[in-house]
Amino acid sequence: MKLTLKIWRQKSPKDKGRFETYQVEASPHMSFLEMLDVLNEELISKKEEPVTFEHDCREGICGTCGLVINGQPHGPNKGTATCQLHMRFYKDGDIIVIEPYRASAFPALKDLAVDRSAFDRIIQAGGYISVSTGAPQDGNAIPIEKDQAAHAFDAAACIGCGACVAACPNASAMLFVSAKVSHLALLPQGKVEARRRAQAMVKQMDAEGFGMCSNITACEVECPKEISVTNIARLNREYLSASLGSEV
């Protein structure tokens, strides 16, 4: 199939950037990123600079890739990362617009790559359980109800790709933050520090310049791991009780 690609090109963080148009011949068996590989091989054969995009595992788990495809982070398919999207969902003659995430907390680097280190700093602010390596109690010492463990897992499945931020008109990081807060607060091991954690992570999120949540829920729709917005409700509850709750 013949496709027309309109791709965002930007030489450096300071460059203004612009769309460039390319033609590419793809097969329906290709993945979306393999289609871009083919384009890049062509550009290199013409001694031109290939399009910079970030990617690694190519099986939807590392969270490195993340393109905005025709306006949607990770493209049209539900619960699918960019690297898992296949060209059989496109047809001959399609025009595809490919852009980077756009959010002030994710500064542009080059072409389709952005800097998502704000997420790391949010985790550093409190997205962990304070246990050092050593000899904790036996793994089976604290039973955890099966469904409870499953809910914690659902929240923990976040891959930190940032699509939630890209999807949100306010560029809010609430889905990302709430997923970690929920994952840990739902487990007895993480309950101990739950209040402090929620406060510290929200404070860092605000400092990074992410926007406010206004319950649009586009984040949930575009999340490749289908993380639920009920986590945001849980975060709000944790945060509120931490802010209002008495220490004694």
Partner 1 sequence: MSFDSNTPPGPLAEKWSRYRGTMNLVAPNNKRRIEIIIVGTGLAGASAAATLGELGYKVKCFTFHDSPRRAHSIAAQGGINAAKNYANDGDSVYRLFYDTIKGGDYRSRESNVYRLAEVSRNIIDQAVAQGVPFARDYGGLLDNRSFGGVQVSRTFYARGQTGQQLLLGAYQALSRQIAEGNVEMYNRHEMLDLVLVDGKARGIIVRNLLTGELERHAAHCVVLGTGGYGNVFYLSTNAMNCNVTAAWRATRRGAYMANPCFTQIHPTCIPQSGDYQSKLTLMSESLRNDGRVWVPKKQEDAKAIREGKKTGNDIPEEERDYFLERRYPAFGNLVPRDVASRAAKVACDEGLGVAPTGLAVFLDFEAAFMRYGQSKAHSTGLHNPSSAQVRELGVKVIEEKYGNLFEMYEKINGEDPYKMPMKIYPAVHYTMGGLWVDYNLETNIPGLFAIGECNFSDHGANRLGASALMQGLADGYFVLPYTIGQFLSQDIRTPKFDPNAKEFLDTEKDTRERLEKMMNVKGNQSVESFHRRLGKIMWDYCGMSRNADGLKKARKMIQELREEFYKDVFIPGSMNDYNPELEKAQRVADFFELGELMVVDALDRNESCGGHFREEYQSEEGEALRNDEDYAYVSAWEYKGWDQDPVLHKEDLVFENIELKTRSYK
**What six digits make up the tokens of 223?**
């999340």
Q: Is 136 in the site for partner 1 (CB under 8 A)?
A: yes
User: In the complex with partner 1, which residue's Cβ is closer, 171 or 180?
Assistant: 180
User: In the complex with partner 1, which residue's Cβ is closer, 59 or 92?
Assistant: 59
Q: Per-residue x/- mask for partner 1, residues 56 to 95, rule CB under 8 A?
A: xxxxxxxxx------------x-xx---x-x-x-------
Binding to partner 1 in span 190-209, by CB under 8 A: 190
Q: Is 21 in the site for partner 1 (CB under 8 A)?
A: no
Judge contact between 229 and 218, C-beta under 8 A.
Answer: no
User: In the complex with partner 1, which residue's Cβ is closer, 21 or 133?
Assistant: 133
Among 54, 208, 222, 238, binds partner 1 (CB under 8 A): 54
Work out how close the CB of 23 gets to partner 1 at its nearest, in angstroms, rounded to a whole number: 16
Cβ partners under 8 Å of residue 224, min gap 6: 60, 74, 79, 80, 81, 84, 159, 161, 163
Binding to partner 1 in span 95-114, by CB under 8 A: 109-110, 113
